[in-house]
Amino acid sequence: MSLLSIFLLLNTVVFSVHSLPNAELPAFREAPAFRNGRECPKTTWLSSPDNYHDPSIIHIAMTLDVTYLRGSVAGVLSVLQHATCPENVVFHFIASHRRSDLLRTITSTFPYQTFHLYHFNTDLVKGKISSSIRRALDQPLNYARIYLADLLPMSVRRIVYFDSDLIVVDDVAKLWNIKLGAHVLGAPEYCHANFTNYFNYRFWSNPAYAAALRGRRACYFNTGVMVIDLGKWREGKYTEKLEYWMKVQKKYRIYELGSLPPFLLVFAGDVEGVEHRWNQHGLGGDNLEGLCRDLHPGPVSLLHWSGKGKPWLRLDSKRPCPLDSLWAPYDLYRHSTLFCDS
C-alpha cells in the first residue's frame, strides 16, 4: 500500500447507524425503511469491511458537504426507493469539513441504513487547483473522486460514483452490473465531441501536450456518473496520472473546466460505453446562466442537474424549470414554514 493510501485510510472514520442528536444543519424528514425482497441474496457486509468483496453488495460513493447536502439526501432516497435490494446498497461518503454534523444529519434521515464516512484531506489538492469558469468547480471536494481508490478499503474493488445533484429512477443494480472488460471505468459517452472546446491554445500549441489526445476517439463523458474498477485503477496508478495534468494546469493553465479535462486527457476514448439513459446530464443548464433544458431523446434511468442551476434552489426561489418537478418528490427537506416544533 502506498504512503498516500495509508495516510488517507488512517483518516477514515466508519460509522454505524444509531440514534444521534440533530445536527446544526438543515433538518430533513425521516425516510421510510426500504427492505429487500425475498429474491435478494444475503450479504455479510454489516459485520466487517473485510466482506466488501461480496458480489451481492453495491457500493456507491458520493461527496457530502453543507452546500449540496439537500441534493445528496434526495439522491440517496432515489437510489433506495428504486433499488430491488436496497439493503445490499452501501453508501461511501467523502467529506472534508463538519463530518460529525453531516453524519448526524444523514443517519437521522436514513436511520435504517448504515453509512461509511471518510475524511478527505483537502491539502492533497489545494496546491493543484486553479480557478475555472465557475467557483463551484474549484472546490477541493470536487476533486475527491480522483482519490477514491486511496480513500476506500482495498476490499472495495468496484464503485459507482454519483454527483450530489442527481436522482436515480431505475434499479441501480443495472448500472452496477455492467461489464467493464479491460477498461478501468464505464460511463455514458458522447463520441462527436470537439476537444478544442475543452483545452486552450496553450495546450494545443505544445506538441507534447497535444500528443496526449492524438489518435484517441473524441469521446466526452461526464464524470458525475462513473462505474470504476478500483483494482485496475490502483494497479495503473491513475490517481498519479490525473495529478500530473492538474500540476500542468496549475503551472501553464491549459483548460478552464475544473476536474473534467484531466479525466478526458487520461481516459477519453478508453471508456466502456454505458447507455445514455444512465446520465441525462446538463439539466442545470450551462455553467454561466443555468438556463432551463429539456431531456435528451431516449429512455431515462438517471436525471442529472449538472451545470449552474440546482433544482432545490430554483424551487425555493419560485422560479423552477419544468424538469425540476421530477426532482421535487425526492426532496426530504423540512421547510420551516411547513414544520414547526413549537
DSSP state, residue 207: H
For 307-322, letters b (16+ CB in 10 Å) and e give: bbbbbbbbbeeeebbe
Q: Is the pLDDT of residue 44 over 70?
A: no
Question: From the CB of residue 208, how many other CB atoms can be counted at a distance below 10 Å?
Answer: 7
108 SS3 class:
helix
Q: What is the pLDDT of residues 79-126, one digit of tens each?
A: 999 999 999 999 999 999 999 999 999 999 999 987 899 999 999 998
Mean predicted confidence (pLDDT) in 239-258: 92
280 and 170 in contact (C-beta within 8 Å)? no
Q: Is the pLDDT of residue 132 over 70?
A: no
Single pTM value for the model: 0.89
Mean predicted confidence (pLDDT) in 320-340: 84
Mean predicted confidence (pLDDT) in 152-158: 94
Q: What is the structure's pLDDT at 341?
A: 40
What is the residue whose three cell numbers read 425503511?
Answer: 33
Topology classification of domain 58-330: Spore Coat Polysaccharide Biosynthesis Protein SpsA; Chain A (3.90.550)
62 and 164 in contact (C-beta within 8 Å)? yes
Helices (H), the chain: 3-10, 69-82, 99-109, 123-126, 148-151, 172-176, 201-204, 207-210, 230-236, 238-252, 260-267, 311-316, 324-327
Give me the residue spans of the domains in the chain.
58-330
State which of 128-137, 199-208, 250-259 shows the largest mean pLDDT. Answer: 199-208
